[in-house]
Copies of this chain bind each other. A is one copy, B any other.
Amino acid sequence: MIRLKCNECDAFAEPLDWRCNACGGSIDIVGLPVFSPDAIHDGDFSLWRYGEMLPVEKHFTLGEGMTPLAPITIDDYTFQAKLEYLNPTGSYKDRGTTTMLNHIASYEVDEVIDNSSGNAGASIAAFASVAGIKARIFVPSDTAVESKKSLIRAFGGTIVESLNPTADVYAEAEHTTYASHAWSPYFVLGQTTVGWETWEQLGRRVPDAIATPVGHGGLFLGFYRGFKALYDAGITDKMPIMIAVQSAGVDPVIQAWEQKLDIPVSITPQHSVADGILVTVPVRGKQILSAIYETNGYAFRVENDAITQAQQRMTSQGIIIEPTSAVTVAALPQIREKIGDDAELVIAFTGNGLKNIGASL
């Protein structure tokens, strides 16, 4: 039986809750279906091919998921790139958005809110429009970029400028439905499909290692939980080494891992070009660190200059990504030193660089 349960105090929660009402902790779905290869819909080339494993009724879709997995070679080193930026609105967020909003669409909801000035805001505005649900997106009035606000509006969302979007959206969540890309357990649910796809695209094999940028860790945990579901179903006896990458100055997970702590370190964020992972308190920080420790993984930080160079380098190879996506490439020297050049590494590229084309090219 599907239920929502608090990760901190084990209290149960209601279907549209975004966090635990008892203690404020993050909630996740328990009682998920066991993964079964026979349950995959072979003729469906979107993430809904795994619909039997997703306890959500599909009301709408933009064909999200089943993004390319392509071999990329730089400096005579080859890794597998999961091109998540080729999702419909230009980022991996679409996986979480579609499961979250299809879940919400099963209830009588005519409006959702979220706080994001970036990929999540665009994704939620777009899918809410498809669902016929209004979306109000809270963005920081001081730092939100005009092009990203324009994109949210073009997708049919309403912008609410705020000096403190997080506090404002938490307050507003008392009165309306908070479709949170950071908190919603149904958002993380959608992210697990990236692990299943990667497994299928590798010929139903589990890679040796996975590296992703980490903000709130939705994509990172998606990979981990996707492979864990395969492991728990007895389909594989192997888990990939999980590697988290953050930018110097916004590295609460990296610092915690270096100090062998169970929860992220409290930090004062500094400037970073990786604007998609400017997260000082990851909602599921404990789960991220646990996944790293359990898989004998790593956590690496990278500098702004290295990120920018990596982004330009990837674009010159046909991979047009946002700076945030490039942190894993910037971390390649550190990754290769630890896992070796023979290990099969999958890197996820999160956001489409075409969004910045006027600004940064």
| Interface residues of A, Cβ cutoff 8 Å to B | 42-43, 45-46, 61-64, 66-71, 83, 86-90, 126-127, 129-130, 147, 150-151, 153-156, 197, 200-201, 203-204, 312, 315-320, 352, 354-355, 357-359, 361
CA–CA, A150 to B353, complex, Å?
Answer: 12
Question: Is the CB–CB distance between B316 and A129 below 8 Å?
Answer: yes
B361–A151 CB distance below 8 A: yes
C-alpha gap A156/B312 in the complex (Å):
10
Contact of A319 among B62, B147, B150 (CB under 8 A): B62
In the complex, which residues of chain B have a beta carbon less than 8 angstroms from the beta carbon of A88?
A: 68, 70, 83, 86, 318-319
Top 8 A-B residue pairs of the complex, sorted by shortest distance between their CB atoms = A63-B68, A358-B358, A126-B318, A354-B354, A63-B70, A150-B361, A156-B316, A154-B315
Question: Which of the listed residues A129, A130, A154 has the most CB atoms from chain B within 10 Å of its own CB?
Answer: A154
When the two chains form their complex, are residues A154 and B320 in contact, meaning their CB atoms are under 8 A apart? yes
How many copies make up the complex?
2
Q: Please tell me if the beta carbons of B63 and A45 are within 8 angstroms of each other in the complex.
A: no
Q: Return the chain B residue nearest A204 by Cβ.
A: B43
**B66 and A62 contact, CB distance less than 8 A:** no
Asked whether A45 lies within 8 Å of B62 as measured between CB atoms, the reply is no
Q: Is the Cβ of B61 less than 8 Å from the Cβ of A70?
A: yes
A-B contact pairs, 24 of them (CB 8 A): A43-B200, A45-B68, A45-B197, A61-B70, A62-B68, A62-B70, A64-B68, A68-B88, A70-B88, A83-B88, A86-B88, A89-B318, A90-B320, A126-B318, A127-B318, A129-B316, A129-B318, A130-B318, A147-B361, A150-B361, A151-B357, A154-B361, A155-B316, A358-B358
Q: Are B83 and A62 in contact (CB under 8 A)?
A: yes
Contact call A129/B317, Cβ cutoff below 8 A: yes
Residues of B within 8 A of A197 (CB): 45
Q: With A and B bound together, what is the CA distance between A68 and B89 in angstroms? A: 12
Apart from A63-B70, A151-B357, list 10 A-B contacts with CB within 8 A.
Answer: A43-B203, A61-B71, A62-B68, A63-B67, A63-B83, A86-B88, A129-B316, A129-B318, A154-B315, A354-B355
Kindly identify which residue among B43, B201, B315, B359 contacts A155, using a CB–CB cutoff of 8 Å.
B315
In contact, B320 and A155 (Cβ under 8 angstroms): yes
Bound Cα distance from A317 to B130, whole angstroms? 5
Residues of B within 8 A of A46 (CB): 68, 70
